[in-house]
A and B are shown apart, each in its own frame.
Chain A
């Protein structure tokens, strides 16, 4: 899916609508923030023919991408954590994925802390009873 075959033909500004937006998984659980975007290959140093299609977004990046945007530099591409653009279901005030977070590399730190620290403390897996378990994120506007 590229920007312009989005169903409602909405224009997305990468800076305004994608970068630094919260990403939710298919269950509405926050996974990450869009730290950077990966675009399809643009040949460097050669003249680009007039009728070449524009590059498309191939993945949302996170992890070291944030440090790169803040401090500069260029960590190796292999250390970036990719979320393929095809997994994106909806772009609104948050970006929703069509996959669960446990399938993503993105949340390995979360899983590590859960399995090695928090899960071991008594009560760590206890759900506070009577709490509203649906966060207000279900009523966001726009993008639909």
Chain B
């Protein structure tokens, strides 16, 4: 019974933890401009993150090595330092965007300007990292994040023309005023939002934090293979809501309130309150994950002691680094930069850093010295290789598409 409960909890946490500010904003923007015609990009991204997240979790459980240790070991310091620089900057951007997201959601409830919420949100994130147990942190954020199911409820309440939505899904390239390059730019952005590198840094380091062993492999696989796709469905529900209401009314998404507008129309205040709670939990959860990931990547590259399972004094540089990252995040937001724009940039740059992150995981997952009998099977390797090609294509296309389209304008 306890096992069943643990499994259910893990899956629910994975669903609630899947969506972050990047998914929220990108899906709503895409839904409002292209309907559901980019649903395939979410699907491709979700399958990709399932493949590589469970692989990185398995490597961590079997060998006790987290992802960034492997990146340096397998790629050497020169390539690894490039990856570190890129991943760290993207991580910092995502962290900033997530804290901005928490503050924006709190602004919607309180009518207090989000800039005033920013320091409080950041301090709350730090307090959780400083004191709260890893397991509790993960479970609470994930479970409350499940409130985002309100988007799915909202979509049903809106009573859309399902045939029309179905047609949008199957439509290859959107017609109308949007250019093909913009369409592909957003395809890359959705892919980057689903496969953000911090997710595997966090997932593999979390496996070490929780002391996973080979006995936990089945459970972790179930969490990923059930939880992430259901989380992906939530992403699609967000896009669906935007497609039904915003696309028809030609409303562009430039603020978090517009992401939630369709739900408010469908379900009124109660559902809106539910959704806002979900958004706060999801963005705060992701803020925790990105802050920890910032610490994990640098500590693992340089071989420092790291992890929430140690008292902060036993991982002093790791904790100092995270404090500095949060301060930088606060400082960036205080300049008045639009958190939504920071989010949009962070998902596109994520796509650029993907290949250097996922390749070492694949190499080590095939190394019997680390993995013993738990090396990758052939089918998994085949799928992972296909994905490396897709990832490489997305990474190469991201920056040119951003320049050509003026970041999707």
Which residues from chain A sit less than 8 Å from chain B, CB to CB?
19-23, 29-33, 35, 62, 66, 69-70, 93-94, 109-111, 113-114, 117-119, 121, 123-142
CA distance A138 to B65 in the complex (A): 11
A20 touches B211 (CB 8 A): no
| B345-377 contact mask (Cβ, 8 Å, vs A): 1 or 0 | 000000000000000000000000111100000
Of A22, A66, A118, A134, the residue contacting B320 (CB under 8 A) is: A118
Minimal beta-carbon separation of B207 from chain A (angstroms): 7
Residues of A within 8 Å of B77, CB to CB, are 20, 35, 66, 69-70
Residues of B within 8 Å of A118, CB to CB, are 312-313, 316, 319-320
Residue of B nearest to A92 (CB): B369
Which residues from chain B sit less than 8 Å from chain A, CB to CB?
60-65, 69, 72-73, 76-78, 80-81, 130-135, 207-214, 299, 301-314, 316-317, 319-320, 369-372
Residues of A within 8 Å of B210, CB to CB, are 132
CA distance A21 to B302 in the complex (A): 10
Residues of B within 8 Å of A121, CB to CB, are 130, 312
A33 touches B72 (CB 8 A): yes
A-B contact count (CB 8 A): 136
A136 touches B303 (CB 8 A): no
Minimal beta-carbon separation of A21 from chain B (angstroms): 6
- A136 and B320 contact, Cβ closer than 8 Å, known pairs A124-B312, A128-B309, A131-B308: no
A119 touches B316 (CB 8 A): yes
Of B64, B69, B311, the residue contacting A138 (CB under 8 A) is: B64
B81 touches A135 (CB 8 A): no
A110 touches B317 (CB 8 A): yes
B309 touches A119 (CB 8 A): no
A123 touches B312 (CB 8 A): yes
Nearest 3 pairs between A and B by C-beta?
A: A33-B303, A114-B316, A132-B211
A30 touches B312 (CB 8 A): no
Residues of A within 8 Å of B212, CB to CB, are 136
B133 touches A69 (CB 8 A): no
Residues of A within 8 Å of B213, CB to CB, are 136, 139
Residues of A within 8 Å of B214, CB to CB, are 139
Residues of B within 8 Å of A124, CB to CB, are 311-313, 319
